[in-house]
Amino acid sequence: MKHVSYLEVEGKRVEEGGARGVMIRTVIGEADKAPNFHMRVISFEEGGATPRHAHAWEHEVFILKGEGSLEVDDKTVELKPGDVVFVPPGSLHCFQSARGMEML
C-alpha cells in the first residue's frame, strides 16, 4: 500500500519537444510495482503547454483546478475543473493553459 499527499511526490519539469511551464508528478507508477497503471498529476504554469504530439497509448484526464484547452486532431475544447476528457491512442494532441491548470 502507498499513502501520500501528491505534494510530497517530487515533480519533474517537462521540457521535451518544446513543452513549457509543465511539471509532472508520477504519484503511482512502476516504482510502486504498478505494471498496468500510472497516475500522474500534471501542473501547468500560466502560459504552459505541451507540444503537439501523438503516441500509441490513450489519455484519461480529470481537470482538478484552473482552466485550459485541449486540441485533439484539430478540434479544440475548453477545460475547467471537473471536466473529463479522453484522448484516443494515435491522436495528435496538445494541452495548454493561459492562467494555470492542474490535471490528473
pLDDT of residue 16: 85
Would you say residue 64 lies in a domain? yes
pLDDT tops 90 at residue 65: yes
Q: Domain of 53?
A: 6-103
Residue 76 Cα distances to 11, 27, 94, angstroms? 27, 28, 9
Would you say residue 1 lies in a domain? no
pLDDT tens for each residue of 11-64: 999 988 889 999 999 999 999 999 988 999 999 999 999 999 999 989 999 999
- As given in the structure block, the three cell numbers for residue 33 are 510495482
Total domains in the chain come to 1
Q: What average pLDDT does the segment 83-101 reach?
A: 96
Q: How far apart are CA 52 and CA 71, in angstroms?
A: 8
Q: In sequence order, which residues have a C-beta less than 8 Å from that of residue 100 and are 6 or more positions away?
A: 43, 44, 45, 46, 48, 66, 67
Would you say residue 73 lies in a domain? yes
CATH of the domain at 32: 2.60.120.10
Q: Which residue from 80, 7, 2, 74 is spatially nearest to 37, judged by alpha carbons?
A: 2
